[in-house]
Structure 1
Amino acid sequence: MATEIPTGPAEQAREIALSLWAQGHGFLATLLRPWNAYQLGIVLILILVAIVLRMVLGPRLHDWMRTREGWPKWQMRLLVMVHRRLRLIFFVGLSWITFWIMQEVTWPSRSYLIGIAASLATAWLVIAFVTRLITNGFVRGLVRYAGWTWATLIILGLTDEAQSLMDSLAVNLGETRLSVWLIAQAVVILAALLFAARLVSTTTASRIRQNEQISPSMQVLAVKLLQVLLYGAAFFIGLRTVGVDLTGLAFLSGAIGVGLGFGLQKVVSNLVSGVIILLDKSIKPGDVISLGETFGWINALGARYVSVVTRDGKEYLIPNEDLITSQVVNWSHSNEFVRLDIYFGTAYGDDPHKVRKIAIAAAASVPRVLSMKAPVCHIVGFGDSSVDYILRFWIRDPIEGLTNIRGNVYLALWDAFHEDGISIPFPQREVRMLNDPEDSARPTRF
C-alpha cells in the first residue's frame, strides 16, 4: 500500500510539527538516564553557585564602580552591563570549566548536556552585549529575543526543521509566494544593512562636521545626501538579497507620485525649500535671524523645518517654505557687524552740541558697543516737547541679544544726562473740569 505524501502547506506544517514533537519526546526520554540526570543536577548546582557569587561580589563591584568617576562614558556603560549580567557571566565561566574538566576525566557523552548549557549561556551573553549597541529599546528587545531563539535552535540542531516549518507557512499573492521564512530573512537582512548604514552615516557625518573647510550649510547638505544614499542602498540591496522583484516597484512609484501631487504638496515643498536653502547658503546653523516676531539663532537645519532658539529658551520649528517665501532678516549673513538705532529727546533749553557729545560718549562706554565703528548721534526733528535725536552704534555679537544692549545704552544715557544736568522732557497736560465753582467766580477778561 502506497504512502500518501503531503503536498499542501497545512499537511507539510503538520508533518514538521510531528517530527519536532518526536525529537523533543526522545530528548526528554534521554534525560531519564542516570548520567543525563547527573548532568542536569550539575547544571542546577552551577546556577546556584553563580547566584551566590552574584550576591557576594555584586555589591562590591557596584561600590567600586561608584569610585570610578573620571572614567570615560563608554567604559562606565560597559561596567554597568557587566554588573547587570554577573549571574550569566559566572555561569558561563563555571560551566565551561566544568565541561573541560569532565571531558578529561570521563567519557564525552557524560558531559554533553553541560556543553549544551555552556554554549547556550555563551550565545545568550554575547547577544545581550552586542544588542546593547542598538539605541532603540523596542528594536533592541526584538533583536535580542530573536537572536536568542535562533542561537538556541542552532545549538540544539533544529534549524532545518524550524526553517521548513516557517517556509511551509506561506500565502500566494499572484506569482509571488510570501512565507514566514522569507519575511524573517527580509527583516534580519534589512535590519543589519540599515544598522550598518546608520553606523557609516554617523561616523562619516562626524568627520564632515569636523572639516572646517566646508561651510556649515554644505556640511548639512552633504550629511543629508549621504544618509539618503546609504539608507536607500541598504533598502534596495536588502530586498534584492531576499529575492524580491524590484520591477514591481515601478507601479508603486507611480502611485507615490500621485499621492505626492495631491496630499503631500506641503511636505515636498518644504523638502525642496530645504535643499534650496542649503545650496544658496542664505542661512546656516549659528546665524541670528528675525522672522515676523520670532528672533533667535538657528540651532539646526532639518529636512522639513529649521530649528530657531530664542533668547527665552523657546525652540521654534519654522517650515523651510516660510524661509523661502517670507522676508527674513539675517543679522549675521555676510558678516557679524550689526548697527542698532535708539531714539531719545531732550529739552529745548539744553545745548544740542553738548547733548550729542554726551550721548556718543555714553554709548561708547557700554562694553559690547564697538569702538572701531564709533557711535554717531544726529538731530532728527523738533518735537512738541523735545528736540529729537537718533543714536546709532555697532555691535558684532547679535547672538548675545539685541534688547539687552539697547537697554544698557539707554541706562548709560540716563546716567550721563543726570550727571551733566540734561533733562528729558515729557508731555504735560492741563485738565480743567467743567462747571467748576472756581471758574465761575473768576472774572471774565475781554
Structure 2
Amino acid sequence: MEDQLIAISEWVQALWAEALLDAGNLILPSRLYQFAILAGCILAAWGLKRIFSPRFRDWMRARDAWPKWQLRALLHLDRRLGLLFFVILTWTATGIMAELTPFPSRRFILTLAATIATAWLLVSVAVRLVRNRFLRQVVTWGLWIYVTLYYLGVADDAGTFLDSVAIEMGKFRLSLLAIVKAVIVMALLFTAVRLFSVAVSGRIRDNEDISPTMRVLLVKIMQITLYGAAFLIGLRVVGLDLTGLAFLSGAIGVGLGFGLQKVVSNLVSGVIILLDKSIKPGDVISIGETFGWINALGGRYVSITTRDGKEYLIPNEDLITGQVVNWTHSNEYVRLDINFGTAYADDPHQVREIAIAAATSAKRVLSVRPPVCHIVGFGDSSVDYVLRFWITDPSAGLTNVRGDVYLALWDAFKDHGISIPFPQREVLMLEGSTLDVAADSGFGGEPTDAG
C-alpha cells in the first residue's frame, strides 16, 4: 500500500510539472487569440441554441405522426444542439485560420478543441444504443474522458495511474483501470447482443413454421445464452480470473435452495409451459375468477389481459399446479349455452325452430356448427329450454354474444307471438266466504271521518 502511495505521488508531481510547462506555452500571443476565438465560438453556439432550440421543438411537436424512435432521435439532437453548433463554428474558424496563415501552430488550439468536441458529439450519438440509462451515463462520461485524455496526449499516463490504484489479495488483483475497462467492454458487448437479439427475435417471431410457444422458448434461450456469454467474455477481456466463479456458483446454489425457491419454481414452470405447449400467446384461458387472453409468456409470470382492460400477472407455478381452463387449447371452437322458458300454450316444436333461427342470425354464431335447442324440463310456470351455439373468437367476449342471442330471441318471439311467462298469483274466493274491506285509516291507525 505504501509503494502505491509513493507511485501515485510521483505521478502527480510529474503531471503537475508537465502542466506547468504546457501552461507556459499556452500564454504565448499566438495561443491567446486562439483561446479568444474559442470563447467567441462558445458564446455564439450558446446564442444559436437559445434562438433555434424553441423553434426546433415547435417543429418536433408538429411531427406527432412520426415513429417514436425518430422523435427520440430528434429530442436527443435538440439536447446536443449547442455542442453541434460549437463543432461547426470551431471547424469553420480552423478553416479560416488555415487560409490566413500557413503555420499549424497558429491554429493548433482550435484544431484540438474542434477534434475533441467532434469526438464528444460522436460519442453522445453512439451511446444511444445503450438502453439502460445509468449504464449509458457511465459509458458516456467514460468515453468523453478517454477521448479528451487521448487527444491531449496523456491517456497512457492516466492509464498507468488508474492501474496503480488496485486491491491485491494474494494472486488476485483488481485495479481501477480493470473496473473501468470492464464497465465499458460489457456495455459495448451488451449493446451488440441486444441489437443482434432484437434482429434474430423478430425473425423467429415471424416464422409461422414454428409454434408460438417454441418461438418464445427459442428467444428466451438465445437471450440467456448471449447475455451470459457477453458477461463472461467481458470478464476475460479485462483479465479477471474466472476460476473463482466455481465458489460463487456454489454459494448461489445454496441461496437458491433457501431463499429463491419460488423464483426457481416459477422459472422451471415457465420452461415446462413452453415445452408442453399447454398454453401459448393468444390463448383464451380461465384461472380462478380471471378470464382473458394470454398477452405474453415471461420467465416468471404469464400476462393475461381481461375484457375490462386489466392485466393480470399470474405466476407460472399457479398455471402448473392449479386448474386452468384453456378455451382455445386444441381448437378455437367454444360452445355457449343460454336458458329460457316459454308458456305451456306455445308449441315447443315451433319454439325450437324459432330459437335456432334467432341464434343463427347473430353475427358471431357459427353456421358450420348449427345451434341446437332442447327441452330440459317442465317448470312451475314455463317449459324450460337450453339453446346451444358455437363461436371461434372468445377473446372478443362472451357476455356480448350471449346478449345478442337473447335480443334476437326476444325479437323473434315477439314477431311470432311466443310468450315468456313470469310468476303470477291468483286469489280464488271459496263458496260461502266473505271479503271485508278495511276502512281508510290515518297515520294513527284509527278510522278517519268521511266528512
CA distance in 2, matches of 1:263, 1:69: 48
2:284 aligned partner? 288
For 2:4, give the aligned amino acid: P
Contact 2:129–2:191 (CA under 8 A) maintained in structure 1: no
For 1:95, give the aligned amino acid: T
3-state SS of the aligned residue for 2:332?
A: coil
1:35 aligned partner? 30
How far does residue 217 in structure 1 lie from its aligned partner after superposition? Answer: 0.9
For 2:32, give the aligned amino acid: A
For 1:323, give the aligned amino acid: L
How far does residue 7 in structure 1 lie from its aligned partner after superposition? Answer: 6.4
Q: How is 1:87-236 mapped onto 2 (pairs within 5 angstroms)?
A: 87-103=82-98, 105-236=101-232
Q: For the structure 1 residues 298 and 182, does the alpha-carbon distance in structure 2 shift closer, same or farther, using more than 3 Å as the test?
A: same
How far does residue 68 in structure 1 lie from its aligned partner after superposition? Answer: 5.8
Greater Cα offset, 303-312 or 279-288: 279-288
1:420 aligned partner? 416
Query: Of 252, 255, 266, which residue of structure 2 is paired with 1:256?
Result: 252
CA distance in 2, matches of 1:99, 1:402: 73
Q: How is 1:401-412 mapped onto 2 (pairs within 5 angstroms)?
A: 401-412=397-408
CA distance in 2, matches of 1:58, 1:439: 94
Greater Cα offset, 168-177 or 110-119: 168-177
For 2:146, give the aligned amino acid: W
3-state SS of the aligned residue for 2:388?
A: strand
CA distance in 1, matches of 2:148, 2:56: 31
Contact 2:123–2:143 (CA under 8 A) maintained in structure 1: yes
String of CA shifts for 1:47-67, please: whole Å, max 9, x gaps: 233334445555565566566
Q: For the structure 1 residues 174 and 154, does the alpha-carbon distance in structure 2 shift closer, same or farther, using more than 3 Å as the test?
A: same
2:392 aligned partner? 396
Tell me if 1:20 matches 2:22: no
Contact 2:267–2:300 (CA under 8 A) maintained in structure 1: yes
3-state SS of the aligned residue for 2:373?
A: strand
3-state SS of the aligned residue for 2:285?
A: strand
Tell me if 1:50 matches 2:45: yes
For 1:304, give the aligned amino acid: R
Q: How is 1:288-307 mapped onto 2 (pairs within 5 angstroms)?
A: 288-307=284-303
3-state SS of the aligned residue for 1:235?
A: helix
String of CA shifts for 1:107-162, please: whole Å, max 9, x gaps: 22222211111111111111111122233332222221221111111111111221
CA distance in 1, matches of 2:435, 2:162: 107
How far does residue 201 in structure 1 lie from its aligned partner after superposition? Answer: 0.7
CA distance in 2, matches of 1:365, 1:72: 42
Percent same amino acid among aligned pairs?
62
String of CA shifts for 1:21-46, please: whole Å, max 9, x gaps: 22223222322221111111111122
CA distance in 2, matches of 1:211, 1:37: 65
1:375 aligned partner? 371
CA distance in 2, matches of 1:292, 1:76: 43
Query: Of 81, 85, 98, which residue of structure 2 is paired with 1:86?
Result: 81
Query: Of 332, 339, 343, which residue of structure 1 is paired with 2:339?
Result: 343
Greater Cα offset, 10-19 or 47-56: 47-56
For 2:419, give the aligned amino acid: S
Greater Cα offset, 192-201 or 170-179: 170-179
CA distance in 2, matches of 1:349, 1:71: 66
Contact 2:273–2:279 (CA under 8 A) maintained in structure 1: yes
CA distance in 2, matches of 1:63, 1:270: 48
CA distance in 1, matches of 2:371, 2:273: 35
1:275 aligned partner? 271
Kindly report the root-mean-square deviation, in angstroms, between the aligned alpha carbons of the 2 structures: 2.4
Query: Of 213, 233, 236, which residue of structure 2 is paired with 1:237?
Result: 233
Greater Cα offset, 48-57 or 316-325: 48-57
Q: For the structure 1 residues 320 and 167, does the alpha-carbon distance in structure 2 shift closer, same or farther, using more than 3 Å as the test?
A: same
Q: For the structure 1 residues 248 and 397, does the alpha-carbon distance in structure 2 shift closer, same or farther, using more than 3 Å as the test?
A: same
How far does residue 174 in structure 1 lie from its aligned partner after superposition? Answer: 3.5
CA distance in 1, matches of 2:378, 2:424: 17
Contact 2:269–2:316 (CA under 8 A) maintained in structure 1: yes
CA distance in 2, matches of 1:69, 1:410: 44
String of CA shifts for 1:3-22, please: whole Å, max 9, x gaps: xxx96111111111222222
For 1:25, give the aligned amino acid: L
3-state SS of the aligned residue for 1:368?
A: coil
CA distance in 1, matches of 2:245, 2:15: 39
3-state SS of the aligned residue for 2:375?
A: strand
Contact 2:139–2:187 (CA under 8 A) maintained in structure 1: no
CA distance in 1, matches of 2:163, 2:150: 17
Q: For the structure 1 residues 88 and 17, does the alpha-carbon distance in structure 2 shift closer, same or farther, using more than 3 Å as the test?
A: same
For 2:293, give the aligned amino acid: W
Aligned length: 430
3-state SS of the aligned residue for 1:239?
A: helix
CA distance in 2, matches of 1:196, 1:282: 34
CA distance in 1, matches of 2:57, 2:251: 57
CA distance in 1, matches of 2:409, 2:65: 50
